[in-house]
Structures are given as C-alpha cells and as structure tokens.
Structure 1
Amino acid sequence: MNKTQQSVIFINYFSLGILMPVLNLIFLERGADLKTLPLLIGLYALSALIFELPSGICGDLLGRKTAFLLSAVMKLFSLTLLIAADDITLLIPCVILNGMSRAFSSGSLDALFIEQAVEAHGQDCIPSVSSRLSILEAAGFAAGSISGGFISYWGGTEGVIMVQGGLTVIVFLLCVVGIREKKERKENEKRVALGAHLRMGKEAVISSGSLKYVLLGMFFTGLLISSIETYWQPVYLEVSALKDATWTLGLVSFMGFFMSAMGNAASEKLLIKYPLGKWNIYGICRLSFSLILVILSLQTNTPGFLLGYAGFYLFHGMGNVAENTLINQYTPNHIRASILSLSSFVFQLGCLSASLASSFLAARITIAGIWKLSGNLCFVSLIILLVQVMKRNKTIIDPKTP
C-alpha cells in the first residue's frame, strides 16, 4: 500500500471517529428526544444492513473506487441534512443516508488494495495488508474519537459536523486523484449480468467449504462487540472510583482502539511466522475473545475492568486480522467486494441480534448476566464451528485459494 492509499483509509476512519463521542448529543440538539433517539440509531443500523450486499455488488460490477466515491457523496448529503435539521423529519433521511454511506464504504477500497497487493506480491502478502488496513482503521477511530471531544468543546457540535464534512471532501479528492483502478478489469466486470454475479458469489461460499464457517464466525464477533459496546460505559462508571468523571470515557475508548491496533500488529507477526496456522490463530483469538467478556463481567473495580477491557480489544484485533486473511484467501478477485460486504452484513446481523436480545434481557437480568450469557454462548458456538472445520479438513490447515 502506498502513502496515498494509507492516507485515504486513515483520514476516512478519523472523520468517522470524530462524530462518535457526540453523535447522540447532536441528534438530541437537532430534534430527537429520548424516545426517538433509539429509533434513529436502529434506522441507521437497518439502513447499513440493507445496503451492505448491494454496495458490495456495486463495487464488483462498477468498480471499488466508484463505490467508495458514492459513499463520500452520500456522507456529504447526510451531513448537510444534519446541519439543517431542527426536527425529526430531516434526521430520518440523514441517518438513512449515513447508513448507506457506511455500507458503500465498507470493503470497497479494502477489496481494491488487497487485490492490487496480491497481483503484485502474491497471496503471502495478505496478512500484512489485512493487518495494515486494520491498524489504520483502529488508529483513525482512536485519534478521531479523542479529537471529536476537543473539537466539540472548542467549536460546538456544528464545528464537529463541519470538520467531518471537510475531511470527507479531502478523502473524496484524494481518492479521485491518487487511487487507480484498472479500467480493463472494470470493463470486463460490467459485462457480467447481476444474476450471474450472484450465482458466482453463492457458488464461492458453498464450494470453498470453510469460507461459510469464517462468515458464520463473524456473526458471533458482532454479537460480542454489540454486547460490550452497548453497556461498557455505565458499567465502567459504576466500578470506577471517579463516579462523575465522564471525561475518562474518551480515554477508555481510546485504550480499546489502541489495544485493537496492537492486536492487529501482533496477529500479523504470528500469521507470517506460522503461515499454516491461520485457523489455529483465528480459533485461539476468538475463543479468548469470548472468555474475556465473561471475565470482564466479574470485575468490581477499576483496574480489573480496564485490564479486562484492554484484553477484550487486544484479542478482538488479533482475531480480525486472522479472520480477514482467511476470507480474502478463500475469495476470488471478481467477487471480493461482494464477499467482504457479505461478511460485514453477517457482522451487522450479529450486532442487531445482540441489541434485540439485550433489550429483552435487560429487564430480567443484570448487565453482568448479559455479558456472561453472551460470552459463554459464543464460546460454545465457536467450539462447534471449529470442530466442523477440523472435521472437514481433517486437521486445521492453510486454506487454498479457489
């Protein structure tokens, strides 16, 4: 990956991270209330879920760069509506466009950069490229989330929106000028009918065997992430010695992103050192990921919570690189964006399932109980999943590219 490619990825995630600490506050300031706020968040998630697969197909048939540029245009329209909003009527199309933008950006440039790297350096470079993409994502979110707090303090919520808009324009221009996609490949792909493309994607998932197990694993990843992201703030404030120090939430969030980036880097080194052990690394990281959520549910003081939270995101980052490496090695170039969007779709489905289940369980059991249930459920499910992979391959081995 060259410097322009890395800059586009980092700035894009930095701009997304800027809005994360204050987005709900902005919605409340611009017409939402405590009753409609969850509906807006749910509408965003639903919009992203619905457009995940169409965005991937768009990336494969019309070009990955085109899909990403469409994402930036949608983001700018969404921010324009957010600036103008003074009631719920403008916030609804705002969050729908934001969800569509998220769907079209996920996996589009990742697919292009991985494809270009494989063409230039072969399959062995996939762990390094996957790690670099994950590190840039985590670093961008971390830097953006901290910056968003300061920007909102100095420039208000409008300042945050304007900064994100400016960064989106910069990303758009950098992508137009600095990122190249082979025209001949796009011309070939435009001749593929939609129905044929869908059949190729279905065949790739079914015929490759173990790919469907990696995709299924992403469901449990989404379930675990949603479980902790929904409730970690109130749990932390409850066990913290500084009960009213809400400013520390930004630092804890930064620590999570930082540990995820450290996990990305560690996983890359393991995958390069043990190229035949991708499934082993994936399995160990995801099982540890599940168990740490159970351990985190038992913490009653700040040091214990912070150690558990850091460990959770460390193994999350490690598992992500192994997971992405497996997906990309099983996936042919001509449907790569579609499969990456399918993986994101399954992840979002896990998040949505966890949200619905948590909503039902919250009135019946404690947050610690929800975390224990989620962690144990995912641990047992992943054990079953890994046993199925081992049965299929006789032993967990390096995947072969179709």
Structure 2
Amino acid sequence: MIKKVSMITPEGMRGRYALVEFLTWLPTGLMIAPMVLLMSVRGLDVAQIGLVTAAYSITVVALELPTGGLADVIGRRTVLAASAVFSVAGLTMTALAGSAWMFLIASLLKGVARALSSGPAQAWYVDRLHALEGPAADLKPGLAAGGAAGSVALAIGTLTGGVLPLLVSGESLAVPVWAGGGAALILLFTVLLVMREPARQVRPRLADVLRDVPVTIGGGFRLAVRDRGLGRLLLVAVAAGVMLNSIELLTPGRLAALTGRPETAGTIYAIVAAAGFAANAVGSAIAPAVARAVGGSMRAVMLATVFTAASVGALAASVALDGVAGMVAAGAAYVVLFTGLAVSSLFRNELIHQRIVSTQRATVMSVDSLQLQFGGTVSSLVLVPLSAQVGAGGVWAVTAVIALSATLLYVRLPAARAEVPVPVREPQ
C-alpha cells in the first residue's frame, strides 16, 4: 500500500490559522462603533444598555472554562464552528432587536459565541504544528501571524463600522451589524473547510462529554497549581486585564475633557482605537525579529513588558497637557503601548504552550482568558472608581506600576517540562 503524504506545510497551516483569526475578530470590530448608538436609537436607556453589556460579560465568564474543556474533549473545529453559529444568531437578533429583552437575548448569544471562540483556534494551530514538526516546533511565526491578523481585523472592522452608517440611509446603524453577521457566516464555512483535525478513534457520547469536561477543567487547574512557572505566566494575565480595562474605560472621558464635546471625542476615540489595533498587528508581526535581536523569547517578553509599562506611564504623564498636544500625546502613548503589549503577549503565549499537553491546551487558554477578565473586573471595581478622586492620570500611574511589577513574574521562571508527543494521523 502506498502511504499518502500530507500536502499541508507549516506555512500553509500558518496561513489557515491567520485566516481563521481574522474572520473570528472581524464581526467584533464591525460592532464596536455602532453598538451603543444602535441600542440608544431603539429606545434603551443607559441602565438598560448597562444591563445588556453586563449580560454579555457574565455569560463569557460563566462559560469560559466549560467551553475550553469542551474543545479539548470534542475537538477545536466543532467548538469554533458552533461559536460562528451562535455569532450569526446573536448578530442577526441584534440587527432586528427593537426592545431591551431582544437586545438582552442577543447579548447572551454573543457571549456564548465569544466563550466558545476563546482558545480553540490557537490550540488547533499549536497541535497541528506539533504534529508536523514535533514538540520543539517554533511557534513564534504562526502566533505572530494569527495575532496580527486578529488585530488587523479589529482595526478594519472598527473603521468600517464607523463609516458604513454614513454611506447608507434608513436604519444605517444596523448595517455594520448585518455585515458582522455575514462575516460570521463566512467564518463558519471557513472553519469547516480549513480546520482539519485527526480522526478520533472513538466518537464521544453525550454522557462521556458531560463527564469528561469537568475532569478536563480540573486537570487544567491542577496543572496551573502544580507547575509554578505556568501559574506565574497565567498571573501575568491579571495585570494585563487591569491595564487594558483602566485604559479602555478612562480614555474616552479623557478625550472628551480635551475636546469639550462627547461627539468629537467619540470620533477621535474610534480613530485612536483603530490605530491601537493596527499597532497591535505591527507588534505581532515584528515579535519574532525582536526575539532574534535580543537573544531569545524570555529576554524579549521581559523587555516588552517594561516597554508597555513605560507607555502606560507616558499616558499618565500626558494628562498634564491640554488641547491638541494632550490628544497627540495620549494617542502616541496608546499606539506604543499596544505595540509593546502585542510583543509581550506573543512570547507569553509561546511560554505557556511549551508547558501544556494537547489534551489540556484549550482549557488552559480559557483559564488564561478568565484571568484577564478577572483583572478587568478588579480594575472596574477598584481603580476606575478611584479616578473620581485622583483623576485618570493617577489611576494610569498606579496601573503602570502594576504592569511593571508583572515583569518580576518572569524572573528565574522554572524550566518547562518536555511535552510528550501524542501520535496522530495527519488529515489531508
């Protein structure tokens, strides 16, 4: 019998992963600009908008770990395809919604979609690359391509979502949402087409899935506790969550104070946010070169973390400036910050993947995402309210110290254990 040779190359796998990441984040980008305005023009007050937004966040947090465990049990492709289905349903209902309860249901559907999409694509890519090149495969080029593709999608989506309502008449604010639904539908077909996985020898029954998911989640937590190095790497996500939430919640108010008009501030913030996503893409793209220049991933992640913390400090210092100078300084700090964050995030993900086996990969990535959400919650409850007393600059200064302290978690990081490769049959 002639052995069938796989035609899939590492470069081809990298391209597939980048395409999936782009389509995963494009619907989110298209929603950013019109979402709050759409709810407002359809009759929701501020309290109702807050409830709808909170429902999304609570759904994501509640399902983050179960969906990660599900991806490890039944497969990454199936879970990401289900995410696309929920995204199409949630965006369609959002576009059609005319009441608070309809927006609430749509928010729950989108929360399920987000939780399902957290981790499977990256876990799939790492598993496939390991199957092609072994556990020592260089993850940096692929993780860089995926990170850059996701950031480009967010940048393009944000700008497109802001421009589309200006180009059409009637219910113009719903147009970007319909576009997001279309992008999610394309994601569904793309996932089914390009995300090939090894054939499972035994197709799991529902009872087996319900039993194995909690076991997988528990195994992921035990691994994080037992492996002190992995625990440290996951703790870095808490600091990142604190930083991102503080910046995203306080920057619009800071720009409003500089411009004197909320409408103008909204436009400027959309531009700044898109520039931040673009900077994130640049950071992801240059990360492998940074590692080569400084002599390895560990040095690169520490330098990038210090660089990011310094950028937050510069953002804090920018509050001393007024008018155009203040806006330019804040925008520049924002762009530099997200460039450094992309570099540090890529290398941290690489270090995490070096410590986990395939059967726990999506679960651990969900734990990581949960840590990020936890950091954002801490920021919302503690630091953001503090801005009423010390101002945005004071909160950002504290945030810079927290971000800088995350560098200590990399110092003398325990060595990773070697992953035992699991034999798989490579799909065509």
Pick which of 147-156 and 59-68 moved more. Answer: 147-156
Partner secondary structure for residue 181 of structure 1? coil
Matched, 1:280 2:294: no
- Shift in Å at residue 366 of structure 1? 0.8
Give the one of 169, 174, 183 matched to 1:167.
183
Residues 14, 142 of structure 2: 8 Å contact kept? no
1:378 aligned onto 2:403:
yes
What letter corresponds to residue 418 of structure 2 in structure 1?
T
Structure 1, unaligned runs of 5 or more: none
TM-score, normalised to structure 2, is 0.85
Matched with 1:262 is 282
1:10 and 1:140 in contact (8 A); partners too: yes
Q: Deviations along 1:9-35, whole A, 9 cap, x unmatched?
A: 212212220111111112222342112
The 1:363/1:235 distance shift into structure 2, 3 A limit, reads: closer
> How big is the shift at 1:274?
5.9
Distance in 2 between the 1:136 and 1:196 partners?
Answer: 33
Correspondence 1:401 to 2:418 = yes
* TM-fit CA distance, 1:99: 1.1
Q: What is residue 235 of structure 1 aligned with on the other side? A: 254
Which of 233, 248, 255 lines up with 2:268 in the alignment? 248
- Asked whether 1:79 is paired with 2:91, we answer yes
| CA deviation profile, 1:159-195 (whole Å, cap 9, x unmatched) | 1121111111111112122321112277489688345
1:204 aligned residue (223, 226, 234)? 223
In terms of mean alpha carbon deviation, does 192-201 or 206-215 score higher?
192-201
Cα offsets for 1:245-268 (capped at 9, x unmatched): 443333222211111111112222
- Code of the residue aligned with 1:249 in structure 2: it is Y
**3-state DSSP of counterpart to 2:137:** helix
Q: 1:374 to 1:4 in 2, by over 3 A?
A: closer
Match of 1:41 among 53, 57, 72: 53
Is contact 2:68–2:116 with CA below 8 Å preserved after alignment? yes
SS in 2 for 1:125: coil
Question: What is the match of residue 143 of structure 1?
Answer: 156
Mean Cα deviation higher: 135-144 or 175-184? 175-184
Query: CA 1:214–1:359 in 2, change beyond 3 Å: closer, same or farther?
Result: same
Q: Which residue of 1 aligns with 2:425?
A: none
**Do the aligned residues in 2 keep the contact of 1:44 with 1:96 (CA within 8 Å)?**
yes
Does the CA contact (< 8 Å) of 2:297 and 2:347 recur in 1?
yes
Partner of 1:154: 167
Deviation for aligned residue 1:354: 0.9
Q: The residue matched to 1:365 in structure 2 has which SS?
A: helix
Find 2:312's aligned residue among 274, 293, 298.
Answer: 293
Contact 1:221 1:347 in 2 (8 A): yes
**Is residue 107 from structure 1 mapped to residue 119 from structure 2 by the alignment?**
yes
Whether 2:357 is the aligned partner of 1:332: answer yes
Moved more, 22-31 or 125-134: 22-31
Tell me the CA shift for residue 157 of structure 1.
1.6
- Residues 206 and 295 (structure 1 numbering): CA distance in 2 closer, same or farther, change over 3 Å? same
CA distance in 1 between counterparts of 2:123 and 2:391 reads 41
Specify the SS of the correspondent of 1:124. Answer: coil
Superposed CA offset, 1:315-354 (max 9, x none): 1111111111111111111110111111111111111211
Distance 1:291 1:218 in 2: 18
Q: Work out whether 1:57 is the aligned partner of 2:69.
A: yes
Aligned-partner residue type, residue 316 of structure 2: S
**Displacement of 1:50:** 1.0
TM-score normalised to structure 1 length: 0.90
Find the counterpart in structure 1 of residue 394 from structure 2. 369
The CA RMSD over aligned residues, in Å, is: 2.4
Paired letter, 1:386: Y
Partners of 2:158 and 2:274 within 8 A in 1: yes
Change (3 A) 1:109 1:344: same
Deviations 1:250-295 (A, max 9, x none): 32222111111111122222335667x3232222222322232122
Which deviates the most, 137-146 or 265-274? 265-274
How far apart in 1 are the matches of 2:372 and 2:201? 29
Report the equivalent of 1:222.
241
Alignment identity in percent? 20
Whether contact under 8 Å (2:81, 2:191) holds in the other structure is yes
| Conserved? CA contact 2:31–2:177, under 8 Å | yes
Letter matched to residue 261 of structure 1: A
**Does 169-178 or 47-56 show the bigger shift?**
169-178
CA distance in 1 between counterparts of 2:239 and 2:166 reads 37
- 1:305 deviates by 1.8
The offset of 1:47, in angstroms, is: 1.1
Measure the CA separation in 2 of the matches of 1:23 and 1:244: 15
Q: 1:19 is matched with which residue?
A: 31
Distance in 2 (CA, whole Å) between partners of 1:53 and 1:195 is 9
User: Quick check: 1:14–1:141 contact (8 Å CA) kept in 2?
Assistant: yes
- The equivalent position to 2:142 in structure 1, one of 112, 119, 129, is 129
Match of 1:116? 128
1:285 and 1:316 in contact (8 A); partners too: yes
Query: In the aligned structure 2, how far is the partner of 1:367 from the partner of 1:186?
Result: 55
Q: 1:84 to 1:384 in 2, by over 3 A?
A: same
